[in-house]
Amino acid sequence: MLSLKRDKKEEEEGGGNPFYNLEKSAVLQEARTLNDTPIDPRKCGHILTKLLYIINQGENIGQNEATKAFFAMTKLFQSNDPILRRLVYLGIKEMSKIAQDVIIVTSCLMKDMKGKEEFRGPAIRALCSVTDSTMLQSIQRYMDEAIMDKGPAVASAALVSALHLGKGSHEVVKRWVDAANAVATSENPMVEFHALCLLYHVLKNDKIALFKLVSKSRKFRSPYSYCLQIRIAAKLIEREDAGSNSELFDFIESCLRHKSEMVIYEAAQAIVQLKNTTAKDLAPAVSVLQLFCSSPKPTLRFAAVRTLNKVAIKHPAAVTACNLDLENLITDVNRSIATLAITTLLKTGNESSVDRLMKQISSFMSEISDEFKIVVVQGIRSLCSKFPRKHNVLMTFLAQMLRDEGGFDYKKEIVECIISTIEENPEAKEAGLAHLCEFIEDCEHTVLATKILHLLGREGPRTPTPSKYIRFIYNRVILENAAVRAAAVSAIAKFGAHCEDLMESCIVLLERCQLDSDDEVRDRATFYVNVLKQNQKPLSSAYILNGLQVSVVGLERALHQYTLEPTETEFDMKSVPLATQPLAEQKVRDVPGESASVKPSQDKVAASRQDVYQEQLAQVPELANLGTLFKSSRPLEVTESETEYYIQCVKHTFSNYIVFQFDCTNTLNDQLLENVTVDMEPAEGFEVSKSIPCVNLPYNKPGSTYTLVRLPSEPTQVTGTFACTLKFLVKDCDPQTGEPDDEGYDDEYVLEDVEVTVADHVQRVMKPNFAASWEEVGPENELEDTYSLSTMNTLEEAIKNIIQYIGLQPCERSDKVPEGKSSHTLYLAGVFRGGHDALVRAKLALDSSGVTMQLTVRSTDPNVSEVLATAVA
């Protein structure tokens, strides 16, 4: 007892771990002595343990070193010491990924898997870790036997290893289906579960077989089997779009009454995650979760609130029933549970409870980790958009959090929350900007400071008192690092460009910045001073307020190309591909609470999807000379999924051509397709000029064929529908080996029509200051008309359809209609094929007969105005 206590104390001091100070090189050195004969099992065991320890600590061991140690270890097979042998198995498994020639132990392991009972399971696991695809054939029979072995440990080991062997490969795992089927009804719960796992893995693409697997409503021995079954059923329901009236749903629901808590939870969790559920379907699931909320087991309470928290995002009403239980959890000793409870309440609470909740939150904010603080901020973010009238309380709270201690991620979350609130709620704007101004006075994160400065530059000039922000911004120029100073300079320039009365003083400030020690800051200042001094609206709009819209990667490539071929002509900005995704607005307004996992990483200047396509197309010699790729559409399916051939079409627009790229997958394992093309029946005015076949299309290896179509010469004729047929030569082949017959026959397959729309000819461009651009383009080619959109019942619906059809970028958040308004103006911006600016203003009004729209189009080219104006008609 005494010594036990002492051990524990030592452990706390970090002295309890004998491997604490292990050094990789020393361990590897020592591993060489594994070679020594005669073998000393105790000593070798100790060395192996150390080796395993350092590997598991994530130490990187070089291939050579690892191979040496591995071979030394293989010699330990001559000892029959059981402890040592088990360590050897572990060693093999760990090292099989780093050492070479690990296959050397195959025979030894195969002997052990038939040998002493205690070695058999571990030997199987080790064997599968060293087996590569060339050896599968030779171990197949032994694995089959092992799966059907009487010993559950052996059978389980074999089933699990078979799954690991298949790592993703359906073909491999398929070998063991029969054996797994034979033991799926095993007496042993573990074997039963592992057999089901394997079967599921093999069948996961076979809907009908899966259905059978699940609907065979039999009793399982293992609760894990039930959990698996529930997951499969849920997946099937999703895939089939079957609602709650399906047999599968009944099965899941019946599991809510199972005796194992794990199964109950799994079932509840599955139900709340289904897409098409009604409040009635959810009720039983929510009520078991509610019961779990008052369980004495912290894990259950945690699982329950976490799940309720998710439900609250989609179905806040369903969770309100649990509000009382959740409020009790706010004081839970486990802080993670408390935080989740609070944020769930934030989602389900009503306007009147906001103040009380915020008070409760502030009482424990200082006790929780950043990670959970972020969760709280996300909760507040959704409150802000739900109860815009409460912005005062919420903003004050956020500002307080901004002042408190916290790491970068936490601060970033708060800043983003404030920014999104400002954008959504004009009334919160001034207060929000003021908080952010205060924050940058003392902000250690360059990224956040520049982000805020950018926002100030965009929003500040349009507030009633722009001048008050300039002081905050100019302070940054004096006090900060170069990156922040540069951002501040750009912000000041925007005030100068937008507010005439401030221009003089802004120029003075910028002139001071021309003396800055940093190149970038000086360059920017010089540039802005010169532009501002011209005092021309269009110039200021194009170069200060709205900026450059091209793809950075594309610009780099175009400039490089230009320098390669000396010419007299000037560099043409219009030849540069545009940034496909406008950077600012692209951010998915994700649902708070789930945002952490799905944030698109847009911080770096990564090559966009379109840059990748451009590169790909350039590889095809027949398509190399089409010029700059203007736009690539999203891939559209032109076959139904789960048919013989799966085909997607991507439209690539160039200045005079469209390339239709068909990405094809052949899902028949007994066919090889050759010379695959898509025959397109051109719409009027379009002309198919070439098609580039996919030479061969073996089973499950995607390939592409292209059709090149010349656009009509009449500039206003831009849309059309194309009937498509897939044509190819079929060679039947052996499904096992893929060996094709010598002879083939021609065949064809009808695809869905492909449409070319106005949206294919325009590229979205974000104009942060739409009014400035509107003036910049001017009324020269303006067209205006009034339409009545009688099929639309709401403004939102009308806006969605217009954007989808015209394919331009909504600016100034004008795609959001403030609540309760019956009229609204939508601003759209973009560039038309050929590089012409295209701006659209749609004034919408809702009345009893539908939506009326006054559409005004401006462009630098008259034809473009015409195309856009007629697009909606």
Partner 1 sequence: MGFFDSLAQWLGVRKKEVNVMVLGLDNSGKTTVINHFKPPETKNHDIVPTVGFNVEKFKSKSLAFTAFDMSGQGRYRNLWEQYYKECDGIIFVIDSSDKLRMVVAKDELDLLLQHSELKNRRIPVLFFANKMDVRDAVTSVKCSHLMGLENLSDKPWHICASNALTGEGLHEGVDWLTDQLKEVLERKKK
- Name the site residues for partner 1 (rule: CB under 8 A): 35, 37-38, 40, 42, 71, 74-75, 77-78, 101, 103-108, 110-111, 135, 138
Q: Shortest distance, CB of residue 72 to partner 1, whole angstroms?
A: 9
Quick one: 72 or 483, whose CB is closer to partner 1? 72
First and final C-alpha spacing in the chain: 88
Instruction: Give the integer Cα–Cα distance in Å for 72 and 30.
Output: 11
Nearer to partner 1 by Cβ, of 38 and 58: the residue is: 38
| CB closer to partner 1, 108 vs 313 | 108
Strand-pair category, 850-859 with 836-847:
antiparallel
What is the residue whose two structure tokens read 């996300």?
A: 378
How many angstroms separate the CA atoms of 830 and 809, rounded? 6
Smaller CB separation from partner 1, 108 or 177: 108
Nearest distance in Å: CB 757, partner 1: 59
- The residue (of 95 and 638) whose beta carbon lies closer to partner 1 is 95
- Residue 142 CB, shortest distance to partner 1, in Å, is 10
Q: How far apart are CA 478 and CA 290, in angstroms?
A: 56
CB of 138 to partner 1, least distance (A): 7
- What is the DSSP pairing of strand 694-697 with strand 671-681? antiparallel
The nearest distance, CB 105 to partner 1, in angstroms, is 6
| Smallest distance from partner 1 to CB 60, Å | 23
- The token duo for 406 is 């916290």
Query: Distance (Å, rounded) from C-alpha 51 to C-alpha 66?
Result: 10
**Residue 443, number of CB atoms within 10 A of its CB:** 19
Beta carbons of 473 and 511 less than 8 angstroms apart: no
Q: What is the DSSP string of 277-307?
A: --HHHHHHHHHHHHHHHT-S-HHHHHHHHHH
CB of 171 to partner 1, least distance (A): 22
Q: What are the φ and ψ backbone dihedral angles of 233, each rounded to 5 degrees?
A: -60, -45
**CB-CB contact of 214 with 236 (8 Å):** yes
Structure tokens at 785: 């008309």
Please give the C-alpha separations between residue 61 and each of 29, 101, 468, 720, in angstroms, as whole numbers. Answer: 12, 16, 59, 60
The least CB distance from residue 55 to partner 1, in Å, is 21
Would you say 76 or 436 has its CB closer to partner 1? 76
- 17, 53, 64, 280, 646 from 87: Cα distances, Å: 19, 12, 21, 55, 49
* b/e sequence 796-805, b meaning 16+ C-beta within 10 Å: eebbeebbee
| CB 76, min distance to partner 1, A | 9
Nearer to partner 1, 108 or 771 (CB): 108
**CB nearer to partner 1: pick between 138 and 793:** 138
Nearer to partner 1, 38 or 621 (CB): 38
Smallest gap from residue 178 Cβ to partner 1 (A): 22
Nearer to partner 1, 95 or 374 (CB): 95
Whether omega before 122 lies within 30 degrees of 0, making that bond cis, reads no
Helices (H), 390-428: 391-403, 408-424
Both structure tokens of 590: 């994700």
